Structure formats: C-alpha cells, structure tokens
Amino acid sequence: MLRSSRAVLAAAACLVSLSVFADTANAAQGLFMFDLQSRPSLHDSKPRPGYKLKSNKVRLAPEFRRQIVAYKSNQKAGTIIVNTGEKHLYLVLGDGKALRYGIGTARDGFEWSGTHKVSNKREWPGWTPPAEMKVRQPNLPDYMPGGINNPLGARAIYIGSTLYRIHGTNEPWTIGQDVSSGCIRMVNDDVEDLYERVKIGAKVIVL
C-alpha cells in the first residue's frame, strides 16, 4: 500500500514538472495564447496573454500586446499616433508615457499618412465596401451588417473625412502585418479599449 501511494505521488510530481516545463518553453518562444471568454475589463491597461476566435487559436507576440510604454511626444494627452512602420498605435497619456497597441496596416500600394481628427465612432459597425474594393473583389456584398464575422470587428473609429478607420478585425492573426486597404486593424479587445478612451475630435497622426 505504501509503495502504491509513493508511485502515485511520483507520477503526480512528474506531471507537474512536465506542465512547468511546457509553460517555460512557451514563454521562451515569446508567444502567448488567450481566449475570448476570459476577457478582462475594458479599462485594464495591463498586457494580456492572447486571443482566441471561435475554435482557432491565435498567438500574439509580446511586442503587439497592449501595454503602457515610455513615449516622448509634444502632442497632448488623448492624441492617437499611428506608426505604420513599427506596427504600433500609441495613445498619448502625457508625462512621457503612452498606451501602445499592436496593429495591422496597409499593404503595398495602399499606404498613406497625414493628420486628421476622430470624426465618429461606432459599436459593431456595418460595412459597405468601397466601389474601388468591389472592382478588385466582385464577390463582396453591397453591405454587411455588424457582427463577429464583419471585417470591421467590434468597434470602428473614423478618421476625418477619409475612407479609413481604426477598427477591430475578425482576422486577429493579421496583427503586425501589412494586410489592409488603408485602414488600421486591431484585435477586438484592444479596439474596444481604445474606443472607450478616445474622444470625437481627438487628433490622429498617421506616420
């Protein structure tokens, strides 16, 4: 009986060791996984460990996780600065700090830059593909209602009078890549967070 108990304890210890080893290996790769069901508060600005859409697990590299960083800027708090080269969006907080988010940006031929203001905001926005996009992709619908399958994702922040938006995505694995027709993509959790913080009229600088 004593030998049997010792065997059980040894097996349990082995399983714990394997679990710790696996966690350490994953951390060493610099990749983190998370799921939608355990979403933290919209106002929690701490880095979070990942994203899961339906049954597809998505890994987000640490540099694209939401976090407060040191950031020198002469822009006032509340300004959005999009650095397309870095694949980062910064919300200026003041006092030498900013809230940094990972983004997906325009693919070759669709890049742009400029200074505008937030002109509107929408929750679970509907999407009307521009005529130019429908020429390139004739199978697109004339209109798609808001929802989890909508390419604009959970929130849209409209940039001036342009056709461009900062919006969520139903393809979170594209964060960190050049993938859009000019819009700025964010994972849904992050665009919801930014949506709550930014005001209509806020300056948007795209570099």
Residue 27 domain-assigned (yes or no): no
Identify the three-state secondary structure at position 14. Answer: helix
pLDDT at 135: 80
Residue 167 domain-assigned (yes or no): yes
Q: Which residue has the higher pLDDT, 161 or 10?
A: 161
Q: Residue 81 pairs with which residues in a beta bridge?
A: 90, 205
- CATH number of the domain that 172 lies in? 2.40.440.10
- Confidence label for 100 from pLDDT (cuts 50, 70 and 90): very high
Residue 8 domain-assigned (yes or no): no
Could you identify the residue written with the tokens 């697990």?
Answer: 57
- Confidence label for 144 from pLDDT (cuts 50, 70 and 90): confident
Domain hosting 133: range is: 32-206
pLDDT at 158: 97
Structural element, H or E, at residue 114: strand 114-123
Structural element, H or E, at residue 192: helix 188-197
Q: Which residue has the higher pLDDT, 188 or 8?
A: 188
| AA identity, residue 35 | D
* Residues classed as catalytic: 167, 183
Residue 120 domain-assigned (yes or no): yes
Q: Name which of 87-91, 128-132, 146-150, 203-207 the model is least confident about.
A: 128-132
User: In this model, does residue 25 exceed pLDDT 90?
Assistant: no
Residue 41 domain-assigned (yes or no): yes
Please state, rounded to an integer, the average pLDDT across all residues of the chain.
77
Give the total number of structural domains in the chain: 1
Residue 17 domain-assigned (yes or no): no
Residue 53 domain-assigned (yes or no): yes
Q: What is the pLDDT of residues 50-84, one digit of tens each?
A: 344 333 456 778 999 999 999 999 999 999 999 99
Residue 110 domain-assigned (yes or no): yes
